[in-house]
Structure 1
Amino acid sequence: MQIVAVVSFLLVTTVVLSSRDQCFNCNGVSDQKDCNVITSCGENEACYVRKFTQYNGKPLFESGCISKQNCQIIHQVSGLGRKRDDGITNCYECCTTGNGTYPCNDNLCGNPPATEKRCYSCSDTINPEDCENVVSCDQDSMCHTGTYIHPLSREIRYTLGCLGKTTCTALMNHWHSYQTSSQSSGHITLQHCNDCCNTDFCNIRLCGIPKRVKPVFIQKPDNSTLRPEFEGVILVCKTDPTSNATLHWEFKGLSGGTTISSQAREISVPNNVNLTIFPVHQSDMGEYICSATNSVGTSTTSAFLSPK
């Protein structure tokens, strides 16, 4: 009798985003575009902007994080026109994106979009994903990220900010990315990078800086209906390499079992884990869950094996 192996996979381009927002966070600036501090909100928080008029007649802006529950009823909570110690509230708006990178409260309360490019700006930092400062760059500049090796600690350090377009072009043409190795560093290969981009907040994605999102699946397992004892399956689970994720399989059997068969073969490489079961048995039927975890959180996808 012929034995048939079924290879099942599904290509997808769905982006799984983090549930956390990055928000502008300032108290008492005369224009929301003047806010240059970014903060990370909690999973149950959103971004907000409050515009209020001081008793001297001058407007100010307040921004930051607010609970999503209050965001949904913000007008009732805020009481537009209500007097507070700092003035009269004229506007109270909130937003949420969940992408963990672009602050959505830049243009709330009628504040027009900034005409200058805005870039992350931090110097000599080990963890660029924690950078919470932004600067406005003129039209002759681009957002830039560069790395170097600290001479004492040998750690990779990052510098983010604005750089002139001419300098950026020269760096990307001649010193975009290069590697060196030396005896003093224990034959460790060290990578240096200079890269530029031309959209708001884009330099948080350069030079291998990890994305501030949960792992993104680029290949998911598909459901399969199989004949026990005669057919097999390969379940494929793969994430975007920039997710820097650790992947593993879990099992919820139709009969209540949670242990993956000892005959199953798992092959794991960075950002990719395949599970081969051949042949399948009745006890292998159920839901196979692929979990991918990085520093931001965990994403899951699953496939069901059902008997014919």
Structure 2
Amino acid sequence: MELTSVLVLLHVLRFCYGEMYCLTCFAVVSPRHCKSIRRCDEGQVCYTEQYRSITGETLFNVGCGIASRCSTKQVNPLKQRFLGSKRYVYNKDTTTCTECCSTDACNRNGCGSLDYPQNRGPVCFDCQQTLDPGLCRSVSVCREDGVCQTYMKSEFGDKIFTLACAPNFVCDSFHGQTSTERCNQCCKTDLCNKDSCVTYRGPYGFQAKAESDQGPGILIFKNVTTNVGAGYDPDTGYFTAKRNGLFVFTWSMQSYKESILSVLKVNGEEKGHANTLYQVLANDTVTSYASDTATSFAVLRLISGDNVNIELINGTARKINTIFTGWAQYSTDLETLPAFYIQCPANCFPLMDPTTNNGGAADVENNALVLQDGFYIAFNQVGGKSTIEPVWLDSMWYTQYNYTVGAYGIIRLSTSAIHPCNIYFGYYLEWKFTTLPSAIPLDFKMNCSNRIQEYYPNTTVVFNAPLDGLYGFRVGISATIQDTLVALVVNSLEMIQIKLDGDYRPGSFPSPDNVIASPILQLKQNDEVSLFLLNGNVTSAMFTGWLISEL
């Protein structure tokens, strides 16, 4: 029975844990002083083993091992030798603690030992010379003002990599400059430099949701649904670009009976914000919903090694609608892909100093966008609330900016000869849809140009994936009942929940609450996507999907 349990556990772990690095040392005075690291085999976890030597000193062994070695705190060392690493050497010393964990270098403070200092720089791979950064087995903890650096130079036809901690200024002049002969890249999160200067040309797309309520500071979105390209780190909350490109990020924050402010940062510099609103007048009249969700966006041109994260400035972000998503927009020619993004602290008129203006999308002097024909995702922020709309635009389209806009952005979606149609619409509008639990019926429309091509009335499967790919969605829900709950479902498997609180104050007509979510999902051909009402009512719903990249 015991052997069967171990085999089942290993089978589960093989799917739960992917590539993982663990500190690996023997007879160290504290795990955090271990300077060696290794990539674990499939299904292994990080372990810490505390023991008392024959001289009475407390020492530690750390490394990779199978989870069954941590099934009990008092461990038979002979059994440890049988189940654990072959490098484990049995002796008669007393083992006082064995502990396992399953994230990168998490055994640095196992068995109650001290963690790294709070005021420190990142933990970096540290190798003077290697032909493959992924094989580096040494680490260092940087000073507080340090970064992780990867430097590559070509010599005699060999690409030689140097990985180390470095001061910030070392990367300021040459950060992101890459060629086949030389590369110098820096990053600021733990163990981030193993993939730097190694070109990743595949697609990017991630969706991560908060696992718990969180206060001010860097927000950690632990519950990851999608992570194509492995750019998002659920342990640190950072997305790290592994190549240059145009990236789109959206995030949503939910608050309860307070106003909160969150910002998106790139390498520590603010590039966007989202704020909820809760107001109580002097006579205790509430002028806003108790629960409020704010969604925002950023369209950014990043270089390899850039780090993106969400930081909460004040208040508490509630877990239910707190989500972080992003994707890289594919293009065969990055320089000509139309993309534009501007933040406007007061107003956007006149149009000045955009954060992103790619492919000649904006004519700043004439305060206008002049675009190529095609589908675009258009983002608009007014009063802390954002809209995200796929729209067909042509070269004759011209806009004057509304001075009330707080931020605005667009990016052109890609199409291919194999699959020229890449955008899908679904609409539902009916006062108080209340059937519980039930799929919300929508009128489904598919657009391949500026004309509607197909129409399916009252369908409950709002999207059927035409091919394997990475897809973006925009889901807008309105409700008038408190605690309305809607789920986005793929093949009967729930992906995210959307919570709404309708305005039902006595003496007034109910006013709908509106929430927008922007899921990013990896789908197989013929996967079915639906919206399910789990509680409350829905007064209107809108669903939009688009193909980001074929997989």
- Bin of the TM-score, shorter chain as denominator length: 0.5 to 0.7
Aligned to 1:193: 183
Q: Structure 1, residues 164-212: CA drift from partner, whole Å, max 9, x if none?
A: x2xx32x433222446xxxxxxxxx63522233344323234334669x
CA distance in 1, matches of 2:30, 2:141: 14
Measured after TM superposition, the shift of residue 58 of structure 1 is 0.4
* Residues 96 and 218 (structure 1), Cα distance of their counterparts in 2 relative to 1, 3 Å cut: closer
Asked if residue 45 in structure 1 is aligned to residue 44 in structure 2, the reply is yes
Aligned to 2:12: none
Measured after TM superposition, the shift of residue 38 of structure 1 is 0.9
Which residue type is aligned with residue 160 of structure 1?
A: L
Q: Secondary structure at the match of 1:190?
A: coil
Asked if residue 68 in structure 1 is aligned to residue 67 in structure 2, the reply is yes
Which residue type is aligned with residue 130 of structure 1?
A: L
- Choose from 523, 526, 550 the match for 1:304: 526
- Choose from 162, 167, 170 the match for 2:165: 162
Query: 1:133-144, aligned counterparts within 5 Å?
Result: 133-144=138-149
Aligned to 2:211: none
Structure 1: 5+ residue stretches without partners: 1-15, 180-188, 220-237, 245-267, 280-285, 293-299
Query: 1:247-262, aligned counterparts within 5 Å?
Result: none
CA distance in 2, matches of 1:305, 1:91: 47
CA distance in 2, matches of 1:145, 1:87: 41
CA distance in 2, matches of 1:209, 1:194: 12
Contact 1:194 1:207 in 2 (8 A): yes
* Residues 70 and 301 (structure 1), Cα distance of their counterparts in 2 relative to 1, 3 Å cut: farther
Asked if residue 87 in structure 1 is aligned to residue 89 in structure 2, the reply is no
Contact 1:45 1:65 in 2 (8 A): yes
Q: Structure 1, residues 93-129: CA drift from partner, whole Å, max 9, x if none?
A: 00113xxxx3221111112211244321012222112
CA distance in 2, matches of 1:105, 1:215: 32
Which residue type is aligned with residue 73 of structure 2?
A: H
Aligned to 2:58: 59
Asked if residue 146 in structure 1 is aligned to residue 142 in structure 2, the reply is no
* Residues 122 and 45 (structure 1), Cα distance of their counterparts in 2 relative to 1, 3 Å cut: same
- Choose from 98, 107, 126 the match for 1:121: 126
Q: Secondary structure at the match of 1:64?
A: strand
CA distance in 1, matches of 2:42, 2:111: 24
* Residues 41 and 216 (structure 1), Cα distance of their counterparts in 2 relative to 1, 3 Å cut: farther
Q: Secondary structure at the match of 1:108?
A: helix
* Residues 198 and 88 (structure 1), Cα distance of their counterparts in 2 relative to 1, 3 Å cut: same
Q: Secondary structure at the match of 1:129?
A: helix
Q: Secondary structure at the match of 1:109?
A: helix
CA distance in 1, matches of 2:176, 2:181: 7
| Bigger relative contact order, structure 1 or 2 (CA pairs below 8 A, ≥6 apart) | 1
Number of aligned residues = 216
Measured after TM superposition, the shift of residue 44 of structure 1 is 1.5
Aligned to 2:468: 290
* Residues 52 and 69 (structure 1), Cα distance of their counterparts in 2 relative to 1, 3 Å cut: closer
Query: 1:9-24, aligned counterparts within 5 Å?
Result: 19-24=18-23
* Residues 277 and 199 (structure 1), Cα distance of their counterparts in 2 relative to 1, 3 Å cut: closer
Which residue type is aligned with residue 111 of structure 2?
A: C
Q: Provide the TM-score with structure 1 as the length reference.
A: 0.55
* Residues 140 and 287 (structure 1), Cα distance of their counterparts in 2 relative to 1, 3 Å cut: closer
CA distance in 2, matches of 1:174, 1:22: 31
Q: Structure 1, residues 17-41: CA drift from partner, whole Å, max 9, x if none?
A: 9623211111111111121111111
* Residues 75 and 40 (structure 1), Cα distance of their counterparts in 2 relative to 1, 3 Å cut: same
Which residue type is aligned with residue 157 of structure 1?
A: I
Q: What is the root-mean-square deviation of aligned Cα atoms in Å?
A: 4.3
Measured after TM superposition, the shift of residue 133 of structure 1 is 0.7
Q: Provide the TM-score with structure 2 as the length reference.
A: 0.33
Contact 2:465 2:523 in 1 (8 A): no
CA distance in 2, matches of 1:149, 1:26: 33
Among the aligned pairs, what percent are the same residue? 25
Aligned to 1:186: none
CA distance in 2, matches of 1:60, 1:209: 41
CA distance in 2, matches of 1:141, 1:217: 29
Q: Secondary structure at the match of 1:132?
A: coil
CA distance in 2, matches of 1:146, 1:173: 13
Aligned to 1:204: 194
Asked if residue 175 in structure 1 is aligned to residue 177 in structure 2, the reply is no
* Residues 149 and 42 (structure 1), Cα distance of their counterparts in 2 relative to 1, 3 Å cut: same
Contact 1:178 1:191 in 2 (8 A): no
* Residues 162 and 43 (structure 1), Cα distance of their counterparts in 2 relative to 1, 3 Å cut: same
CA distance in 2, matches of 1:273, 1:55: 69
